[in-house]
Amino acid sequence: MSDASQASRVAEAADRLHAIAAEVERVIVGQEQLLRGLLIGLVADGHILLEGMPGLAKSLAVDSLARAVGGVCHRIQFTPDLLPSDLIGTQVYNPKTGDWTVHEGPVFGNFVLADEINRAPAKVQSALLEAMQERQVTLAGQTRQLPDPFLVLATQNPVEQEGTYPLPEAQLDRFMLKVVVDYPDREQERAIIERMRRSERPQVQAVATPQQVLDARAALDEVFIDEKIEHYVVELVFATRDPAAAGLPALRDHIEYGASPRASIALTRAAAAQALLDRRAYVTPNDVKAIAHDVLRHRVVPSFEAEAEGRRAEDLVQQILDTVAIP
């Protein structure tokens, strides 16, 4: 494929994604980081964990994205008494016919909004883990494939911990991105009031199809990633595992666990998606740095010493980004 054709496909995919973003922005004010994270996860085929206080439009953003793409969106409110069958479905017996009928659960959708995911018990999280990783579930003894595209967008409250179950590291690692949602500024909050105080509120219309999302993912594969960029990604991830070898001996006692190879894959694909959104058919080191916090903040586990000093995973990742040489 020629360079011109490659650039054309990337530009076409970018235009489609920006049209989706523009439609979502009809109801979402500000939250550029949240929206960009949703678009990156959408085109890079990666699940997203959204963390923020209640009332910051996390659920609304996910629902609006699904409407703009024209996909099937199911919302699951996670609670401590939730059962795996509430997620994946179950068999129902018909006494009149003597037959068993399979009723598919809400996980069978293009977009699954797992609201307050950290309130689910271990069995439910295990069922969701299979769906996220394998894109399939085991129901009534049979393996059933999930629709394509399939994206889990989970939310959690960072403050309220009563009645919650911390997500295991294995499940956190399945999320490509962890996006932290912050409060809007004053101007944005006034715009929210102006937009939402009326009885007739803006409605999101479908401006794309699930097939066009798959086409955009195919265009993502054509974004060029130089070997130097791949080397840079590997150096960043290895610095989370062996900080001393990366010239950061002070972090040796501050990182309990570093990022897995899944982080290297996620960082590479997310950087390519970042480039595509900027209508470029090649990745730069700045693309990697721009998305590194979202990819690594939930994969780098601070030690007790780091927590005692008030150092978060964000701080450790930033120090690594400031130290590892840019190609």
Residue 161 scores a pLDDT above 70: no
Per-residue confidence (pLDDT) for residue 29, from 0 to 100: 81
Spatial distance between the Cα atoms of 284 and 291, rounded to a whole number of angstroms: 12
Residue 79 scores a pLDDT above 90: no
pLDDT band (50, 70, 90) for residue 39? very high
Q: State pLDDT tens for residues 170-226.
A: 778 889 999 988 888 888 888 888 877 777 777 888 888 889 989 999 999 989 999
Domain at 3-217, CATH homologous superfamily: P-loop containing nucleotide triphosphate hydrolases (3.40.50.300)
Distance of CA 155 to the CA centre of its chain: 10
pLDDT band (50, 70, 90) for residue 249? confident
Nearest to 324 by CA among 260, 248, 250, 242: 248
Per-residue confidence (pLDDT) for residue 9, from 0 to 100: 85
Average pLDDT over residues 129-147: 83
End-to-end alpha-carbon separation of the chain, Å?
A: 27
Are 82 and 127 in contact, with CB atoms under 8 Å apart?
A: no
Are 9 and 219 in contact, with CB atoms under 8 Å apart?
A: yes
Q: State pLDDT tens for residues 80-112.
A: 888 888 888 887 777 877 777 777 888 888 898
The domain limits of the chain are 3-217, 223-323
pTM of this prediction?
A: 0.88
Helix 313-323 vs helix 285-296: angle between axes, to the nearest 10 degrees? 160
pLDDT band (50, 70, 90) for residue 164? low
Per-residue confidence (pLDDT) for residue 287, from 0 to 100: 95
Average pLDDT over residues 151-157: 86
Identity of residue 278: D
Average pLDDT, the chain: 86
Using the structure block, give the residue that is written with the tokens 């598919």.
Answer: 104
Strand segments, DSSP code E, in 164-283 are 175-180, 255-257
Residue 213: its H or E element: helix 210-220
Q: State pLDDT tens for residues 273-321.
A: 999 999 999 999 999 999 999 999 999 988 888 888 888 888 999 999 9
Helix 285-296 vs helix 227-241: angle between axes, to the nearest 10 degrees? 30
Domain 3-217 matches domain 223-323 at the CATH topology level: no
Residue 150 scores a pLDDT above 60: yes
324: left (phi over 0), alpha (psi -120 to 50) or beta: beta
DSSP 70: T
Per-residue confidence (pLDDT) for residue 227, from 0 to 100: 94
Per-residue confidence (pLDDT) for residue 232, from 0 to 100: 96
Domain at 223-323, CATH homologous superfamily: Magnesium chelatase subunit I, C-Terminal domain (1.10.8.80)
